[in-house]
Copies of this chain bind each other. A is one copy, B any other.
Amino acid sequence: MSSTLITPDNFNSIVPEGDDHERMVCSDCGFIAYENPKIIAGSVVTYGDQILLCKRAIDPQKGRWTIPAGFLEMGEAPHEGAVREAQEEACATIEIIDLLAVYSVRRISQVHMMYRAVLAEPVFEPGTESLEVALFSWDKIPWDDLAFPSVHWVLNHFKEAQGKTGFAPFSNPQGWEGV
């Protein structure tokens, strides 16, 4: 392979034989650069009746609040990714309860797998991607300063699921099915 030179010009969008979608294919070596949707793994983390939120230290939406969530990494199960993200963004050790919601954001080819989780002890601090981490009671959630529509969705679905177990995970709320 080291003798093969690849330039961006070598990659053309064609439908490989036996396929039915266009892929970026190298005209020199035939390498197919498959691109597929990515999974965002995250969790609504509670301590008592309070919810853990992180103020983003990075763009997009720097300075706005979100739940701990991020791209699933190779070799991880989604619930493991949610645990890692809580550790990375909030230095919080969480325990996953169940799968709360599966959202699709087709425009950016993301599938969000959102869990319910609990914090055993109120021990947390901002990770490198957070400016601030805090626990909020429901009526203190900074609704006008949430980072993404999906943070609204998952907090409302969390509220709707309170006291329930063994339910089908929520999906995109009404009006947002096609995004």
Bitwise, A32-47 to B at CB < 8 A (1) or not (0) is 0011111100000000
Chain A contact-residue range equals: 35 or more
Chain A binding surface SS class: loop
How distant is the Cα of A13 from the Cα of B75 in the complex, in angstroms? 17
Cross-chain contact B21 with A99 (CB below 8 angstroms): no
- With contacts A7-B2, A168-B169 taken as known, whether A35 is within 8 angstroms of B74 at the C-beta atoms is yes
Number of copies: 2
User: Of A61-69, A101-109, A117-125, which stretch is located at the interface?
Assistant: A101-109
8 additional contacts (CB under 8 A) given A18-B128, A37-B39, A37-B75: A2-B8, A34-B71, A36-B39, A37-B73, A75-B109, A102-B102, A168-B168, A168-B169
5 contacts between A and B (CB under 8 A): A5-B5, A39-B111, A77-B111, A78-B111, A102-B113
Interface set of A (CB-CB < 8 Å, partner B): 1-2, 4-9, 18, 20-21, 34-39, 58, 71-78, 88, 98-99, 102, 104, 106-107, 109, 111, 113, 128, 165-169
